[in-house]
Amino acid sequence: MSSILERFEEKDEDIVLDIDKYLTFLIDNQYYAFPIKDVREIIEIQPITQIPEFPTYAKGIIDLRNNVVPIIDVRLRFYKPEIEYTERTCIIVLDIREIQIGFIVDTVDEVIDISKENISAAPAITTDRSTRFIEGIGRVNSKIIMLLNAMKMLNEEDLQAFEFMSK
């Protein structure tokens, strides 16, 4: 899984400043993306240790090379039905406030460039509760991609608990 990420970690001297890289993934056949600068690695789904009194969207923790990593199920965070994990299910590990946090997604798609001119503001008013996590909407060819802000997917209480666990 991490080979997708490794292919795009090379630095290019001719980087255009108005283009950003994103890791795209699918949840319920909809494209979403995290900024590649926040992505630490992509791993296969693995056994998760449940923690009492965690929020319902937080599945528990894993041990990743002697680091405790809290795991968030993006489907549950978006109020979508839980599904059984498959061989395509992955965990995207992000660095948030110097903490590693894993996000379970249906499947990883690709790393793409999105120019700022192809990014629109997120809708201001909608009935979908998950839009507060969306920073913008990217358009690449025929794909519409919801650009996520992982920090907004966690509340301050969650972050404090995760910081405590990671020490």
Whichever domain contains 159, its CATH number is 2.40.50.180
Place of tokens 């993934």: 25
Angle (CA) 11 146 120, round 5°: 85
Q: What is the mean pLDDT of the segment spanning 25-51?
A: 96
Q: Are 96 and 150 in contact (CB under 8 A)?
A: yes
Model pLDDT for residues 99-122, shown as the tens digit of each residue: 899 999 999 999 999 999 999 988
Instruction: Give me the domain span that covers residue 138.
Output: 2-165
Model pLDDT for residues 62-94, shown as the tens digit of each residue: 999 999 999 999 999 999 999 999 999 999 999
> What pLDDT does residue 32 have?
97
> What pLDDT does residue 5 have?
55
Q: Which residues pair with 8 in a beta bridge?
A: none
Q: What's the number of domains the chain is made of?
A: 1
> What pLDDT does residue 6 have?
57
b/e per residue 121-158 (b: at least 16 CB within 10 A): ebeeeeeeebeebbbbbbebeeeebbbbebeebbeeeb
> What pLDDT does residue 166 have?
62
> What pLDDT does residue 125 have?
60
pLDDT class for 165, splitting at 50, 70, 90? low
Q: What is the pTM of this model?
A: 0.84
> What pLDDT does residue 144 have?
95
pLDDT of 15 over the 70 cut: no
Q: How many angstroms separate the CA atoms of 117 and 19, rounded?
A: 9
Q: What is the mean pLDDT of the segment spanning 134-142?
A: 92
pLDDT of 16 over the 70 cut: no
Q: What is the mean pLDDT of the segment spanning 20-45?
A: 96
